[in-house]
């Protein structure tokens, strides 16, 4: 059976009714797998639409606070102090997105996977949760960061407890984990707060023989340097050459970057093993952020795609081609204000496109937002991922059926969705995953996916 999944939050079942939503998904798009945000603080992953409301659901913001949209079983949290994390939002009172949806989905032959995205956003903060601050990392200035540390044993114990609860109490087919964190140097490149400098990272650095003070000094020097660049300072040797000089004078920075990456990949490996502990047939899916797989050459180098085959059964590369024009332009503009300030905005855009192999899929920068990426990009990136993993992982391209870019990107139409969905299958995809959230997608775009399945004899 061809995998046809959709990411969905509890709010859609509450707003529209479990049976009605499942009817819509099956009849219009041939959905046979639900990727449910059972635990989230991200409006984009779990809330109502972020960029304008579609033609279904409640047409008003839900002001998501987030947390667990299921009822945590206390028997499974005895090893952690963090036990009070059920979503406090009044809208979710009395609803359990796992217990109330899984039985109905199973009757229809639909698979169910919890979906969690380890988001890079420093603006998504679970500030209402008692004790969550004990999970938080530190930045390169020693300040408490806004995101958890993946070397913090208490955070990892809590996640083991969550997964234990999920797979012991619910009939699940596996787990989808979204990879969207980035290393401290990349946080500095985008003028954001960093992570990776708490006591656990420092201890790991010392065990590897990394000079902690030299590494932190290097990060601070680069941060101050880029702050000056954004303020108009221009060194005689140029911005990029000077940046390379700082990295060469502080090689500990790149050693720290590798340590940060190792810590995160180790966490993903641990989760994959635990999911299969309950049943070897459980599937582990990884969602690969578009900034990692497409926009950022440094992250693309960090995350060697061949590694995914060691612990994932299937992959969902985020390949939202319609808003990609605006998003890639925004990314290149951010770098042009900092690390690529030697270039013009058009020069930085074109250089990144050339390095990343995007030239044949994009429009000139002046037309980027209105043009998006060509659907052939979905085909090529799907082919590349299959080749990089040696065909050992199934690939389900993430089709952006609703997510935009603040109204500045090309409209998402059924024609766009059909072209992207066909492209995913033409690239060798074993299925598709409709994204980012059902609450954002117009029903006509879901129907477009169903039409592709019919045209290809897959339903």
Report which of 363, 429, 439 is spatially closest to residue 396, judged by C-alpha positions. 429
> Residue 295 falls within a domain, yes or no?
yes
- Cβ-in-10-Å burial (0-12, 13-18, 19+) of 145 comes to buried
CA distance 301 to 255: 15
* Domain count within the chain: 1
CA distance 206 to 328: 37
> Residue 23 falls within a domain, yes or no?
yes
Collapsing DSSP to helix, strand or coil, 112 comes out as strand
Q: How confident is the model over 133-155, as pLDDT tens digits?
A: 999 999 999 999 999 999 999 99
Q: How confident is the model over 43-76, as pLDDT tens digits?
A: 889 999 987 899 999 999 998 999 999 999 999 9
Structure tokens at 216: 């932190």
Q: How many CB atoms lie within 10 A of CB 133?
A: 11
Tally the residues of the chain: 459
CB–CB of 397/319 below 8 Å?
yes
Structure tokens at 397: 């391209």
Q: How confident is the model over 163-197, as pLDDT tens digits?
A: 999 999 999 999 999 999 999 999 999 999 999 99
In this prediction, residues 74-88 reach a mean pLDDT of 97
What integer best gives the mean pLDDT of the chain?
97
> Residue 398 falls within a domain, yes or no?
yes
pLDDT at site 34: 99
pLDDT at site 120: 78
> Which residues on neighbouring strands pair with residue 285, listed in sequence order?
176, 314
In this prediction, residues 341-350 reach a mean pLDDT of 99
pLDDT at site 52: 84
> Residue 198 falls within a domain, yes or no?
no
Whole-model pTM: value is 0.97
Q: How confident is the model over 377-397, as pLDDT tens digits?
A: 999 999 999 999 999 999 999
Structure tokens at 379: 């085909």
Kindly report whether the peptide bond that precedes residue 436 is cis, defined as omega within 30 degrees of 0.
yes
Collapsing DSSP to helix, strand or coil, 287 comes out as strand
List the CATH number of the domain containing 61: 3.20.20.80
> Residue 255 falls within a domain, yes or no?
no
> Residue 191 falls within a domain, yes or no?
no
CA distance 385 to 396: 10
- pLDDT confidence tier of residue 129, bands split at 50, 70 and 90: confident
Packing angle of the helix pair 414-426, 321-336 (nearest 10 deg): 90
- pLDDT confidence tier of residue 409, bands split at 50, 70 and 90: confident
- Within the chain, what is the greatest distance between any pair of CA atoms? 68
pLDDT at site 11: 98
CA distance 238 to 340: 10
- pLDDT confidence tier of residue 373, bands split at 50, 70 and 90: very high
CA distance 143 to 138: 5
Query: Token match 């995913």: residue?
Result: 424
Collapsing DSSP to helix, strand or coil, 222 comes out as helix
CA distance 35 to 48: 16
CA distance 374 to 82: 45
> Residue 337 falls within a domain, yes or no?
yes
- pLDDT confidence tier of residue 123, bands split at 50, 70 and 90: confident
State which residues form the domain around 354.
3-126+149-181+264-455
- pLDDT confidence tier of residue 12, bands split at 50, 70 and 90: very high
Per-residue pLDDT for 106 more than 80? yes
Residue with more model confidence, 109 or 129: 109
pLDDT at site 407: 63
Structure tokens at 54: 């579609």
Structure tokens at 380: 């090529």
Whole-angstrom CA distances from 112 to 72, 239, 333, 429 are 18, 49, 39, 20
Cβ-defined contacts of 352-355 (< 8 Å, 24+)? 352/295, 352/297, 352/328, 353/328, 355/297
High-pLDDT (> 70) share of the chain, %: 99
pLDDT at site 412: 94
> Residue 196 falls within a domain, yes or no?
no
In this prediction, residues 30-38 reach a mean pLDDT of 99
In this prediction, residues 32-49 reach a mean pLDDT of 95
Per-residue pLDDT for 124 more than 80? no
Report which of 380, 374, 414, 413 is spatially closest to residue 397, judged by C-alpha positions. 380
pLDDT at site 425: 99
CB–CB of 316/286 below 8 Å?
yes
In this prediction, residues 192-204 reach a mean pLDDT of 98
Buried b (16+ CB within 10 A) or exposed e, 267-287: bbebbbebbbeeeeebbbbbb
Cβ-defined contacts of 200-206 (< 8 Å, 24+)? 200/149, 200/151, 200/152, 200/153, 201/137, 201/149, 201/151, 201/256, 201/259, 201/260, 201/263, 204/151, 204/259, 204/263, 205/255, 205/256, 205/259
């Amino acid at each position: 059976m061809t995998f046809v999944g959709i990411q969905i939050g509890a709010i859609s079942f509450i707003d529209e009714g479990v049976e009605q939503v499942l009817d819509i998904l099956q009849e219009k798009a041939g959905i046979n797998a639900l990727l449910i945000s059972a635990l989230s603080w991200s409006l984009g992953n779990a809330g109502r639409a972020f960029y304008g409301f579609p033609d279904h659901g409640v047409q008003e913001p839900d002001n998501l606070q987030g947390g667990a949209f299921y009822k945590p079983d206390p028997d499974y949290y005895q090893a952690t102090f963090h036990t009070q994390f059920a979503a406090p939002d009044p809208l979710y009172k009395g609803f359990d997105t796992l217990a109330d949806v899984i039985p109905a989905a199973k009757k229809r032959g639909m698979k169910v996977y919890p979906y969690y995205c380890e988001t890079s956003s420093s603006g998504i903060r679970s500030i209402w949760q008692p004790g969550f601050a004990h999970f938080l990392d530190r930045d390169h200035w020693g300040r408490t960061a806004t995101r958890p540390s993946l070397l913090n044993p208490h955070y990892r114990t809590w996640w083991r407890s969550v997964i234990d609860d999920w797979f012991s109490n619910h009939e699940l087919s596996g787990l989808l984990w979204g990879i969207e964190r980035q290393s401290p140097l990349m946080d500095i490149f985008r003028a954001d707060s960093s992570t990776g400098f708490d006591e656990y990272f420092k201890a790991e650095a010392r065990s590897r023989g990394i000079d902690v003070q030299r590494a932190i000094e290097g990060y601070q020097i680069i941060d101050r340097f880029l702050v000056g660049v954004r303020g108009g300072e221009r060194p005689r040797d140029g911005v990029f050459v000077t940046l390379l000089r700082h990295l060469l004078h502080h090689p500990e920075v790149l050693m720290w970057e590798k340590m940060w990456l190792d810590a995160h990949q180790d966490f993903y490996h641990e989760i994959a093993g635990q999911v299969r502990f309950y049943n070897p047939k459980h599937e582990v899916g990884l969602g690969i952020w578009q900034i990692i797989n497409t926009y950022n050459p440094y992250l693309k180098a960090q995350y060697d795609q061949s590694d995914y085959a060691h612990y994932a059964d299937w992959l969902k590369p985020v390949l939202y081609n319609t808003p990609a024009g605006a998003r890639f332009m925004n990314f290149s503009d951010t770098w042009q204000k900092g690390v690529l300030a030697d270039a013009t905005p058009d020069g930085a855009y074109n250089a990144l496109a050339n390095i990343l192999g995007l030239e044949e899929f994009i429009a000139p920068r002046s037309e980027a937002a209105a043009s998006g990426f060509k659907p052939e990009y979905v085909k090529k990136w799907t082919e590349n991922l299959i080749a990089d993993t040696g065909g050992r992982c199934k690939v389900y391209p993430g089709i952006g059926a609703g997510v935009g870019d603040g109204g500045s990107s090309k409209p998402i139409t059924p024609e766009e969705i059909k072209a992207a969905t066909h492209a995913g299958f033409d690239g060798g995809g074993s299925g598709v995953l409709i994204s980012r959230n059902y609450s954002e997608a117009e029903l006509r775009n879901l129907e477009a996916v169903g039409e592709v399945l019919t045209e290809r004899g897959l339903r």
